[in-house]
Amino acid sequence: MQLVSEHIAELVPPLLEGLVVTLEIMAGAVVLAVPLALLSGIGRLSPLRPVRWLASIYVEVFRGTSALVQLFWFYFVLPLFGVQLPAMLVGIVVLALNAGAYGAEVVRGAIRAVPPGQREAGVALNLTRAQIMRRIVVPQAIPAMLPPAGNLLI
């Protein structure tokens, strides 16, 4: 056990190097995942059926399959179809697609939690659907998104 306490400090720098890479991947994935989550979360509530389907297929596929297998698939199977991507890019993209799919449900839940009276008020003011969404519903949904979004981010 005396070996254990010896020079722990020398182990830290190489681990910190790894941590930098970890943080880079996280940052890249978050930047992609946030718009993905917003788009697909709102898309799942769209009045247009094709949009709803597209968003649902994306969310269900990425939420419903193993993230590890997705990663392997993009890294090892895609090259067999002639698409060879650098590992770093695959890591960022797959994690983003994953987080985006989970995030979509966070967004959808938060939007549905806005009281219907808010929408009705928008209708009474003769706002368009898009205006109601952008000016009334989404701003009120954001505070409700944060706690589960933080949960996801961690």
Partner 1 sequence: MKNTALVSLITITDLTFRGQLLRSETLRTTEIFTLMLLLYFAVALLITAGVRMLERRVRVR
Say whether residue 8 binds partner 1 (CB under 8 A): yes
| Among positions 17, 60, 65, 123, the unique one binding partner 1 when judged by CB under 8 A | 17
State the DSSP code for 73: I
Residues 23-62 that bind partner 1 (CB under 8 A): 23, 25-26, 29
Stretch that binds partner 1, among 42-50, 84-92, 108-116, 127-135 (CB under 8 A): 84-92
Largest CA distance in the chain: 75
Query: Quick one: which of 11, 48, 80, 124 contacts partner 1 (CB under 8 A)?
Result: 11
The phi-psi region of residue 99 (left if phi > 0; otherwise alpha if psi is between -120 and 50; otherwise beta) is: alpha
- Position 12 contacts partner 1 (CB under 8 A): yes
Q: Which of 92, 132 has the CB closer to partner 1?
A: 92
Gap between the Cα atoms of 89 and 153, Å rounded: 19
Q: Are 100 and 36 in contact (CB under 8 A)?
A: yes
